[in-house]
Amino acid sequence: MAYEMILTETPVPGVGLVRLNRPQALNALNAQITREIFDALEAFDKDDTIGAIVLTGSDKAFAAGADIKQMSETNAVAMMSDDFTDWSRMSRITKPIIGAISGWALGGGCEMAMMCDMLVASESAKFGQPEVKLGIIPGAGGTQRLTRAVGKAVAMEVMLGDRNLTAAEALAGGLVNRVYPVETYLQEAINLAAKVASMPRVAVRLIKQAVNKAEELGLTEGLDFEKRNFYLAFATEDKTEGMKAFVEKRQPQWKNR
Ligand code: CO8
């Protein structure tokens, strides 16, 4: 597929990389780049050779938010019928997405980062939700996901008090998995994705589904959901192979089915 605002590649076998590439606007998310990102994620999701996806921007900016120039010309009714506001396409990606975040991750950029399954940040990463300064509020999960990640008090300060979280603060608050120097964060994210991609993919998919349910369901319903996926895993050839390989003291050969 031909893209204008993103780049895609397979840096190592099993890993798909999606890179936001709109440097003149610090990767601000307009309708086109957002559509291209979701198209590329879906293409890697359907690709049987890919086991995990890395989503990144530039060293200077993952994304400085939704495109303010585009939003300044729109209105509520247009937004409601515009698929720019429907980010559920990203929620439906079944393979793990590892965000490699450097520089600005503001507004919609922070929200898109938080929709990833794991985050690897550079030391220069800055996470913020400055929408209030534009007279609006976060619209792609910021009030919900940031609050769940770092707690109410810190989330309130980020959204109301014009405070960006540094990479170190994001790490301490549990928003990101790891922080590395800007020279290595992307490679580290690719390494993590490669490790995930080497795991049996049906089990990986079932785990991603169940962990995401933990953010939505009560404990009893969540445990029921987990148990169903657990039983489902016992229907896979990889379960047979994984346990046989353990007993035979050899490396498993995954079939991803
Ligand atoms: N939208 C459009 N253009 C942008 C944006 C943006 N969010 N951010 C930066 N740019 C552009 C600038 O206009 C500038 O372009 P130009 O050279 O043509 O004037 C270029 O990028 C470089 O930016 P700066 O010169 O401002 O760079 P600085 O290094 O001086 O500053 C900042 C960097 C601090 C990141 C600054 O650019 C800034 O404050 N940007 C806006 C940040 C912001 O407010 N983000 C939140 C936007 S609102 C939002 O995201 C709502 C999410 C809703 C999601 C809804 C989906 C359902």
DSSP-assigned states of every residue in 154-168: HHHHHHHS--PEEHH
**CA proximity to 108, closest of 63, 55, 48:** 63
The structure tokens listed for 51 are: 């086991």
Q: Could you give the CA distance from residue 8 to residue 19 in angstroms, rounded to a whole number?
A: 6
Q: Could you give the CA distance from residue 3 to residue 35 in angstroms, rounded to a whole number?
A: 10
- Establish whether residue 106 lines the binding site of ligand 1, counting it when its CB lies within 6 angstroms of any ligand atom: yes
| Cβ neighbour number for residue 193 with a 10 Å cutoff | 29
Give the position, in ligand 1's atom list, of the atom nearest the Cα of 66: 50
The structure tokens listed for 186 are: 């992307």
Determine contact, residues 134/192, Cβ cutoff 8 Å.
no
How far from the centroid of its chain's Cα atoms is residue 199's Cα? 19
Give me the pLDDT at residue 129, please. 98
- Establish whether residue 185 lines the binding site of ligand 1, counting it when its CB lies within 6 angstroms of any ligand atom: no
- Establish whether residue 139 lines the binding site of ligand 1, counting it when its CB lies within 6 angstroms of any ligand atom: yes
Q: Could you give the CA distance from residue 185 to residue 60 in angstroms, rounded to a whole number?
A: 13
**CA proximity to 97, closest of 56, 141, 60:** 56
Query: 163 by DSSP, 3-state: which?
Result: coil
Residues 55, 59, 65, 69, CA torsion sign:
negative
Give me the pLDDT at residue 80, please. 83
Q: Could you give the CA distance from residue 144 to residue 155 in angstroms, rounded to a whole number?
A: 9
Give me the pLDDT at residue 86, please. 85
Along the chain (257 residues), what's the average pLDDT of each consecutive run of 10 residues? Answer: 94 98 97 96 98 98 96 89 86 98 98 98 98 97 96 97 97 97 98 98 98 95 98 98 98 96
Q: Could you give the CA distance from residue 246 to residue 224 in angstroms, rounded to a whole number?
A: 28
Give me the pLDDT at residue 44, please. 98
Q: Is 108 a catalytic residue?
A: yes
Best mutation site among 33, 37, 68, 104 for ligand 1, i.e. most ligand atoms within 8 A of its Cβ? Answer: 68
Give me the pLDDT at residue 81, please. 80
The rounded Å distance from CA 27 to ligand 1 centre is 8
Radius of gyration of the chain (CA): 19
Best mutation site among 26, 80, 86 for ligand 1, i.e. most ligand atoms within 8 A of its Cβ? Answer: 26
Give the position, in ligand 1's atom list, of the atom nearest the Cα of 65: 50
| Cβ neighbour number for residue 171 with a 10 Å cutoff | 17
